């Protein structure tokens, strides 16, 4: 009951077709009312926000229907997979707030059982060893508009098939020379049913099974078996597997006596504006060093978002918000940003920091308080308060002073007053300039909070003496256009945003020196920031900008 995900699930929310299907199946008593799902990533890359959608769906449905969700490494292609990815996947799923309990599996641990099923298929005349080369197979397979023709090896005897398959496993044949095919229908309009490959010969070291195997099962064969072995009831996957479903069902139909009859249901993957989502492109960004790594705060990876300061509950809320459909859509990153602000607004401690300083000298320095009290989070009284040292010299944001203010400018300008957060008022009485005429500082009169001057604006500040210097990494969108990877004839890397990272040294209130890595703050009136988990050190804090605050003035002044 104390789990945040319960309250997330509790609020009124429209359903979606997958929830409807599962509810109906459960009500009808299918599989004894059990609901077992799985999240089956291939450990060949880092998880990203698109995976988060699948993770929240898989684990969310299981949770909602009193079932369980398995985490399974779909590692049937050792050429691309590694333990580094396995570990990152576990870390990310856990960080997102999900728990697979004891149900952590590897496809590779089923290799022996899968092999036995294949032998059984052969014995029943449903699979055969084919010697056609890949080149020849292109011709035999046919094209979508034209049926294929049967392989000359299709009607070998069971004994010969069994012998050949055993020798494939024993390593008697070179890579790619033979394969095991299902015997289904070469005239099927669905290409996936035209005698699909079940096993290929591939001498690759597998990160789990080492060199034990030189034949590996194909996804279309392995996946339904894994689901069946584990008693999965609802096998949720993305739309591109829709045409594979008849084959999935064919494989499942070959089995007997399994705890559940798994059902594959497809939904649309997530597309986010101003980002790329394919593993290949993310890998390219990393390998070409266009970002600092998989966990670069500009990456849509879970590790990138985490380092950026995005809280997991924001990602879960986002995944709930976008819904589940079979329609390929493009979700606006603004929705993600909204979910992030929404989560952080409630939890992030407020602090003050000045990114672009302008020195303020207070002319009536006689009666200044030594420090002032500031609340830590106006949205959360329990967050308490802190004291900030005060003094006769302050820094304010250069933007917060205008020598000739534009219309409706509520901040400081000569002769005008403004409130300074928690600390009374400033009235500008003088402007200091260099020889070139640039403003180098301003002189102000200070009035205590009790003065109750009529002002429309409040600005933030930090004391000039005792300010904590910190590195602020100002992250922005990685790309300049909504769909960087869908531009005809153009590389997505052409649309990288040259301003996606700007690093500045900020003056901050002393309390920020003690920020713990990963701790989130709102720098008032600027943005949410997080202490970088890798580079931030005591006494030398480094902060990543997670997301800016909404800025009505910036919007209005653009017009």
Looking at the annotation, which residues are catalytic?
A: 42, 269, 279
Return d(Cα 197, Cα 244) in angstroms, integer: 13
Residue numbers 103-122 binding RNA by CB under 7 A: none
Does residue 466 interact with RNA by CB under 7 A? no
8 Å CB contact between 450 and 369: no
Does residue 179 interact with RNA by CB under 7 A? yes
Would you report the helix, strand and coil content of the chain in percent, each value rounded to 5?
35, 25, 40
Stretch in the footprint of RNA (CB under 7 A) among 117-125, 173-181, 293-301, 355-363:
173-181
Please identify, using beta-carbon distances, which residue of 132 and 252 lies nearer to RNA.
132
β-pair type (461-463, 385-389) = unpaired
- Least distance in Å: CB of 222 to RNA? 7
Among 458, 480, 493, 497, interactor with RNA by CB under 7 A: 458
Does residue 152 interact with RNA by CB under 7 A? no
Please identify, using beta-carbon distances, which residue of 237 and 515 lies nearer to RNA.
237
Please identify, using beta-carbon distances, which residue of 290 and 383 lies nearer to RNA.
383
Return d(Cα 55, Cα 94) in angstroms, integer: 10
8 Å CB contact between 41 and 89: yes
Please identify, using beta-carbon distances, which residue of 295 and 397 lies nearer to RNA.
397
Does residue 16 interact with RNA by CB under 7 A? yes
Element (H, E) at 389: strand 385-389
Residues near RNA (CB under 7 A), total: 95
8 Å CB contact between 464 and 441: no
Distances (CA, A) of 39 to 93, 189, 192, 233: 10, 30, 23, 13
Return d(Cα 125, Cα 148) in angstroms, integer: 20
Q: In the structure encoding, which two tokens stand for residue 253, read together?
A: 């139909």
- Least distance in Å: CB of 19 to RNA? 9
Length of the chain, in residues: 559
Residue numbers 199-238 binding RNA by CB under 7 A: 200-202, 216-220, 222-223
Residue numbers 239-298 binding RNA by CB under 7 A: 239-244, 268
Strand order in the sheet with 36-39: 36-39, 68-73, 104-106
Does residue 525 interact with RNA by CB under 7 A? yes
Stretch in the footprint of RNA (CB under 7 A) among 151-159, 383-391, 453-461, 490-498:
453-461
Please identify, using beta-carbon distances, which residue of 291 and 319 lies nearer to RNA.
319
Among 389, 391, 414, 449, interactor with RNA by CB under 7 A: 449
Does residue 385 interact with RNA by CB under 7 A? no
Q: How far is it between the farthest Cα atoms of the chain?
A: 103
Does residue 178 interact with RNA by CB under 7 A? yes
- Least distance in Å: CB of 539 to RNA? 26
Does residue 379 interact with RNA by CB under 7 A? yes
Does residue 176 interact with RNA by CB under 7 A? yes
Among 51, 308, 350, 473, interactor with RNA by CB under 7 A: 350
Residue numbers 39-68 binding RNA by CB under 7 A: 40, 42
According to DSSP, the residues that pair with 369 across neighbouring strands are none
Does residue 552 interact with RNA by CB under 7 A? yes
Please identify, using beta-carbon distances, which residue of 259 and 457 lies nearer to RNA.
457
Tell the burial category of 261 from Cβ atoms under 10 Å away from its Cβ (0-12, 13-18, 19+).
middle
- Least distance in Å: CB of 59 to RNA? 18
**Residue (of 162, 169, 179) closest to 120 by Cα position:** 162
Does residue 156 interact with RNA by CB under 7 A? no
Does residue 171 interact with RNA by CB under 7 A? no
**Residue (of 428, 362, 352) closest to 393 by Cα position:** 362
Does residue 363 interact with RNA by CB under 7 A? no
Q: For 127, what's the count of Cα atoms within 13 Å in the CB-facing half-sphere?
A: 26
Element (H, E) at 444: strand 439-447
Return d(Cα 490, Cα 509) in angstroms, integer: 46
Does residue 189 interact with RNA by CB under 7 A? yes
Does residue 20 interact with RNA by CB under 7 A? yes
Does residue 453 interact with RNA by CB under 7 A? no
- Least distance in Å: CB of 318 to RNA? 10
- Least distance in Å: CB of 406 to RNA? 8
According to DSSP, the residues that pair with 548 across neighbouring strands are 527
Please identify, using beta-carbon distances, which residue of 77 and 417 lies nearer to RNA.
77
Q: For 412, what's the count of Cα atoms within 13 Å in the CB-facing half-sphere?
A: 30
SS3 459: strand
Please identify, using beta-carbon distances, which residue of 14 and 437 lies nearer to RNA.
14
Stretch in the footprint of RNA (CB under 7 A) among 27-35, 329-337, 468-476, 503-511:
329-337
Among 197, 255, 368, 383, interactor with RNA by CB under 7 A: 197
Does residue 149 interact with RNA by CB under 7 A? no
Tell the burial category of 277 from Cβ atoms under 10 Å away from its Cβ (0-12, 13-18, 19+).
middle
Question: If you write DSSP's letter for every residue of 34-79 in order, what string do you get?
Answer: --EEEE---SSS--BHHHHHHHHHHHHHHHHTT-EEEEEE----TT
Does residue 153 interact with RNA by CB under 7 A? no
Does residue 530 interact with RNA by CB under 7 A? no
Q: In the structure encoding, which two tokens stand for residue 233, read together?
A: 């009831």
Does residue 143 interact with RNA by CB under 7 A? yes
Return d(Cα 229, Cα 227) in angstroms, integer: 6
Distances (CA, A) of 280 to 54, 199, 303, 485: 19, 25, 17, 12
Please identify, using beta-carbon distances, which residue of 16 and 261 lies nearer to RNA.
16
Distance of CA 455 to the CA centre of its chain: 43
Does residue 403 interact with RNA by CB under 7 A? no
Does residue 323 interact with RNA by CB under 7 A? yes
Does residue 166 interact with RNA by CB under 7 A? no
Please identify, using beta-carbon distances, which residue of 26 and 76 lies nearer to RNA.
76
Does residue 139 interact with RNA by CB under 7 A? no
Does residue 489 interact with RNA by CB under 7 A? no
Please identify, using beta-carbon distances, which residue of 425 and 475 lies nearer to RNA.
425
């Amino acid at each position: 009951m104390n789990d945040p995900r319960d309250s997330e699930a509790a609020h009124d929310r429209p359903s979606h077709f997958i929830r409807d299907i599962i509810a109906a199946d459960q009500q009808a008593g299918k599989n004894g009312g059990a609901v077992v799902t799985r999240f089956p990533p291939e450990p060949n890359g880092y998880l990203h926000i698109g995976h988060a959608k699948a993770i929240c769906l898989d684990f969310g449905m299981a949770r909602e229907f009193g079932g369980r969700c398995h985490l399974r490494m779909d590692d049937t292609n050792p050429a691309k997979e590694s333990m580094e990815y396995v570990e990152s996947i576990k870390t990310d799923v856990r960080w997102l707030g999900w728990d697979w309990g004891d149900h952590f599996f590897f496809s590779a641990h089923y290799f022996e059982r899968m092999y036995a099923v294949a032998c059984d298929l052969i014995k029943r005349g449903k699979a055969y060893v084919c010697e056609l080369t890949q080149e020849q197979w292109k011709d035999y397979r046919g094209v979508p508009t034209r049926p294929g023709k049967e392989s000359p090896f299709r009607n070998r005897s069971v004994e010969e098939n069994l012998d050949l398959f055993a020798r494939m496993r024993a390593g008697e044949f070179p890579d790619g020379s033979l394969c095991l095919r299902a015997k289904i229908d070469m005239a099927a309009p669905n290409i996936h049913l035209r005698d699909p490959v079940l096993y290929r010969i591939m001498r690759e070291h597998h990160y789990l099974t080492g060199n034990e195997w030189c034949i590996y099962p194909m996804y279309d064969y392995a996946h339904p078996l894994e689901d069946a072995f584990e008693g999965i009831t609802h096998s949720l996957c993305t739309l591109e597997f829709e045409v594979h479903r008849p084959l999935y069902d064919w494989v499942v139909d070959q089995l007997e006596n399994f705890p559940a009859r798994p059902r594959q249901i497809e939904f649309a993957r997530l597309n986010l504006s101003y980002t790329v989502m394919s593993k290949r492109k993310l890998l390219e960004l990393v390998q070409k060093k266009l970002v600092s790594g998989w966990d670069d705060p500009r990456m849509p990876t879970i590790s990138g978002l985490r380092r950026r300061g995005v809280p997991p509950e924001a990602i879960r809320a986002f995944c709930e918000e976008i819904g589940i459909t079979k329609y390929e859509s493009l979700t606006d990153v603004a929705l993600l940003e909204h979910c992030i602000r929404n989560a952080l607004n409630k939890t992030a401690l407020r602090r003050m920091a000045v990114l672009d300083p302008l020195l303020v000298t207070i002319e009536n320095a006689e009666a200044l308080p030594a420090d002032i009290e500031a609340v830590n989070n106006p949205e959360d009284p329990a967050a308490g308060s802190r004291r900030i040292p005060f003094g006769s010299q302050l820094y304010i944001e250069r933007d917060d002073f205008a020598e000739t203010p534009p219309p409706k400018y509520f901040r400081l300008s000569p002769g005008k007053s403004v409130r300074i957060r928690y600390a009374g008022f400033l009235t500008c009485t003088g402007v200091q300039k260099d020889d070139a005429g640039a403003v180098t500082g301003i002189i102000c009169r200070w009035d205590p909070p009790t003065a109750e001057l009529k002002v429309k604006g409040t600005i933030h500040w930090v004391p000039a003496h005792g300010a904590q210097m910190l590195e602020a990494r100002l992250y922005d969108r990685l790309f300049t256009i909504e769909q960087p990877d869908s531009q005809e004839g153009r590389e997505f890397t052409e649309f990288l945003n040259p301003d996606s990272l700007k690093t500045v040294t900020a003056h901050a209130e002393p309390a920020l020196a003690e920020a713990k890595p990963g701790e989130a703050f709102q720098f008032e009136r600027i943005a949410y920031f997080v202490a970088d988990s890798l580079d931030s050190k005591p006494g030398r804090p480094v902060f990543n900008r997670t997301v800016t605050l909404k800025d009505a003035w910036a919007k209005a002044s653009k017009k």
